[in-house]
Amino acid sequence: MLTIYGVYRSRASRVYWMAEELGLEFRSVPVLQARRLADPLAAGAPLNTHSAEFAAVNPMGQIPSIADGDLVMHESLAINLYLARKHGGPLSGQTVEEDGLLTMWTVWAASQVEPHSVRIVLTYDNGLENSAEGKETIAAACYGLRRPLAALESQLAGRSWIVGDRFTVADLNIAEVLRYAQSEAALLDAHPNVKAWIERCQSRPAYKRMQETRGKEPIEV
């Protein structure tokens, strides 16, 4: 059985979403981010990214990780590419060319979008969005997203999905990376194709199931 290490309020959300899309049976092992705990190494502290037990799974101390039989993997976007390829179906590439495009767009999301979008969500997570520093950080991140979103806007012109004529792992991966920037309504309003596309992605039953479970997790530890 697939084991997913991580909590839903983390990058593990995208792996849980993928598992829901594929209809996979999985075991969830909650692993908190150490930054959320006053003393992650204290006796009795919940399993977290600094715990020795988790370090045996992922020496980098980051979530999510998975164990699938004898295979252990880290890096959420790579995990999703693996799961799509292993289980096949419409979320995976149907040709070697599509496989290449799914990888290309996923790497693009990690390199061109997430460095900016994560700055936005962390500003909100730290309660700094209304401070002068926070506003400056968000503005800089939005500026950095202008060119990537223009490229995505063009890719989605006249089409519903990023690769082929169906929802794929590329849509899932990019939608989850871009979700971190959805607080900035003006950014998406300026890119109507992107806005309509992410709404389509997030209307999927598997996404809603993931978010329902995520909503039940406590924000504070």
The ranges assigned to domains in the chain are 2-87, 96-206
* pLDDT at residue 189, as a whole number: 97
> Are 109 and 175 within 8 A, CB to CB?
no
Predicted TM-score (pTM) of this structure: 0.96
3-class SS of residue 167: coil
Residue 221 has pLDDT above 80, yes or no: no
Give the integer Cα–Cα distance in Å for 94 and 89.
Answer: 8
> 3-class secondary structure for 13-78?
HHHHHHHHHHCCCEEEECCECHHHCCCCCCCCCCCECCCHHHHCCCCCCCCCEEEECCEEEECHHH
pLDDT band per the 50, 70, 90 thresholds, residue 5 = very high
Mean pLDDT of 108-131: 97
**96-206 placed in CATH 1.25.40.10:** no
2-87: what fold?
A: Glutaredoxin (3.40.30)
